[in-house]
Structure 1
Amino acid sequence: MEPMLATPAPAPAALPHGRSWVFEVKWDGVRVLADVRDGRLRLASRTGRDVTPAYPELGGLAGLGDVLLDGEVVLMDGGRPSFAALADRMHVRDPRRAAALAAARPVTYLVFDVLRREGQDLAARPLEERRCVLDGLTLPEHVQPSPWYDDGDDLWRVTREHGLEGVVAKRRDAPYRPGQRSPDWVKAAHRRTRTALVGGWRPESTGTGRLGALLLGAPDAPAGLRYLGRAGSGLGGPAARVMRDLLAAHERTDSPFGDDVPAVDARGAVWCDPLVVVETLYLARTPSGRLRQPVVKGVRTDTTADPWAQP
């Protein structure tokens, strides 16, 4: 089953209002479906990729019986969820390394929906009914329900003050629509987030050969890949070295972008096939579609790039 997706709010603070809505924190983690059948657990990413080996500390979910859960895996850093900290976990496949990482810094699985329970498909049921099923589960260690709040404006203020990513509003009577981006769920972030494809990179100007900036793009049917802009923030430390090695495997001689990359950005660029997906934060998009003040958060292997038309 593909997860249901939220519709971005037209403006950062433009959340719905009224008693027909509930509000949750927008967690800075990775979406995971937990499918338990016959005592066996399978954790799947948003794209259906099996990520069970990466999170051995969530093995207690296998004791829940027949159930399908939707939620977010997060890793706390200084009391707040950190995608950068989670990036060290989400790609691990070696069981011994995963176990060592889990013992040192365990993740938390924040569950916000139940889609199947004891053979019954619950997707068509109202959200409030599904929440009652979730509240009736005895969840294992490292697993907890994502809290609900009635006041979206207050939650927006609190998440901003505490440096959290944002807020998601959900209609109480909404069914679960697998694979659809539904207006029954509305997300608003204090800074916008977007997954983008890397079409090239530029080395640091110091001549070290280290990664200095990424040239980002978005898929678009007419042009193939359209240019979103250059991102240099967030590329320091070991993560930059890992990303440079990853991009080196996909180098090419010409630009993969279907539109023009400004000369100031293209100067000294190393082009690559647009296969690597990265998560970015940004303030807004310019009228020409460029990202304002983009920051690279890390590589994503659990999802695809957002289309050009997304805000």
Structure 2
Amino acid sequence: MARSSSKKPPEAPAEPMPARIEPCVAMLVDKPPKGRDWAFEVKWDGYRLAVHVEPGRVRIITRGGYDWTDRFAPIAAEAQQLGHETMILDGEAVVLDDHGRSDFGLLQRALGRKPSLHDPREILFFAFDLLYLDGRDLRRLPLRERRRLLESIVIAVSAGVIRLSEEVEADGEEFFRIACAHGLEGIVAKRRDKPYHSGRRPDWQKIKCVRRDSFVIVGYEPSTMPGAIGRLLLAARKGEGLAYVGGCGTGWTYQESMKLRELLDEIVTDAPAVALRRRGAVFTRPVLVAEVEYRAWTQDGKLRHPSFKGLRERADEATIFELLDTRLTE
């Protein structure tokens, strides 16, 4: 008589964990979409990050593919305590102001090498997607299923530095109106039924209360005030090079302007990064990036009413605004 086998059926082999996943990027649109297929979230004002939990280590990767684990050590430490051997979280690192709004300037100061009133432990990571979990690539699943798994992991540590970016059950236009009234940067809409695709996709859309993007600093015009800056000269990516998009002369205090000029004076060059002739201008190597808030674009492709909000690093090239032919994108 043959014995019945007590062996369990073989498990499906684990899917290799990607070393890096190019993030899904939301398309900028003028108004929120309609329909029950769309989920809405707050648009966070910080650094887009992927948190890779691997056996024995955690890596934190920027949108541009750089390893910034050391800059976000508290997030990395907490990620190891989430109870899973392998995992990739997609989200945003932010610092919240006194009103609970994400503030890019506060984040920059918390990350800065100079003394700051803001501790790096104030940096929070709001997770909004789960791309890989315990040997399984989740990108082919619809968003609603990825979110269900994400919520089961992150809600348990909601008081820590890793938190869930909440979905809001609301009409998109009403949510957008309320977000703008509360001084938020905007909202994000995502199709619940779609898998995760890298690159800029219509499945994810962002609607901004004001426009805000990153531009390369290519020089400055001195202020009439001693040691300060009158206007920053800004450029966007265009093809393999840069194109001048105008100047920015507001958004800083006199003291901040002096510190910014000190930084720029260390990278002065005789070879401008853009084709621009301007009397009295001081040109700099294109290694610093300005975060700029503005209202619109002029017909000749210049920023309208720009205001300086902080500095980024050129190393994370993916954040810099790009000009495509006659169209403007980011």
Do these two structures clear the TM 0.5 threshold for a shared fold by scoring above it?
A: yes
Q: Which residue of 2 aligns with 1:292?
A: 304
**Structure of larger gyration radius:** 2
Q: Is the alpha carbon distance of 1:172 and 1:120 closer, same or farther for their aligned partners in structure 2, counting shifts above 3 Å?
A: same
Amino acid of the structure 2 residue aligned with 1:271: F
Q: Which residue of 2 aligns with 1:306?
A: 321
Amino acid of the structure 2 residue aligned with 1:275: V
Q: Which residue of 1 aligns with 2:6?
A: none
2-structure distance, mates of 1:248, 1:123: 46
Are the aligned partners of 2:227 and 2:261 in contact in 1 as well (CA < 8 Å)? no
2-structure distance, mates of 1:125, 1:238: 51
Between 81-90 and 49-58, report the one with greater CA deviation.
49-58
Q: Which residue of 2 aligns with 1:145?
A: 164
2-structure distance, mates of 1:243, 1:174: 44
Secondary structure at 1:55's aligned position in 2?
helix
Q: Which residue of 2 aligns with 1:214?
A: 232
Are the aligned partners of 1:73 and 1:108 in contact in 2 as well (CA < 8 Å)? yes
1-structure distance, mates of 2:140, 2:213: 29
1-structure distance, mates of 2:307, 2:282: 20
Query: What are the Cα deviations for residues 57-106 of structure 1, in whole angstroms up to 9, with x where unaligned?
Result: 322111222110010111111222111111112345x9xx89x8235xx1
2-structure distance, mates of 1:90, 1:182: 30
2-structure distance, mates of 1:21, 1:154: 14
2-structure distance, mates of 1:72, 1:286: 31
Q: Which residue of 1 aligns with 2:120?
A: 102
Q: Which residue of 1 aligns with 2:149?
A: 133
1:166 aligns with 2:186: yes
Secondary structure at 2:178's aligned position in 1?
helix
Are the aligned partners of 2:124 and 2:161 in contact in 1 as well (CA < 8 Å)? yes
2-structure distance, mates of 1:240, 1:125: 48
1:31-110 to 2 correspondence within 5 Å?
A: 31-58=48-75, 59-64=77-82, 65=84, 66-79=86-99, 80-92=101-113, 101-103=119-121, 106-110=122-126
Q: Which residue of 1 aligns with 2:267?
A: 250
- RMSD, matched Cα: 2.2
Q: Is the alpha carbon distance of 1:174 and 1:61 closer, same or farther for their aligned partners in structure 2, counting shifts above 3 Å?
A: same
1:111 aligns with 2:127: yes
Residue 217 of structure 1, CA deviation = 0.8
Are the aligned partners of 2:228 and 2:254 in contact in 1 as well (CA < 8 Å)? no
1-structure distance, mates of 2:40, 2:317: 24
2-structure distance, mates of 1:107, 1:194: 21
Residue 254 of structure 1, CA deviation = 4.2
Q: Is the alpha carbon distance of 1:123 and 1:239 closer, same or farther for their aligned partners in structure 2, counting shifts above 3 Å?
A: farther
1:190 aligns with 2:190: no
Query: What are the Cα deviations for residues 191-213 of structure 1, in whole angstroms up to 9, with x where unaligned?
Result: 1111111111112112x122232
1:194-205 to 2 correspondence within 5 Å?
A: 194-205=213-224
Amino acid of the structure 2 residue aligned with 1:126: P
2-structure distance, mates of 1:227, 1:102: 34
User: Which residue of 256, 271, 289 maps to 1:277?
Assistant: 289
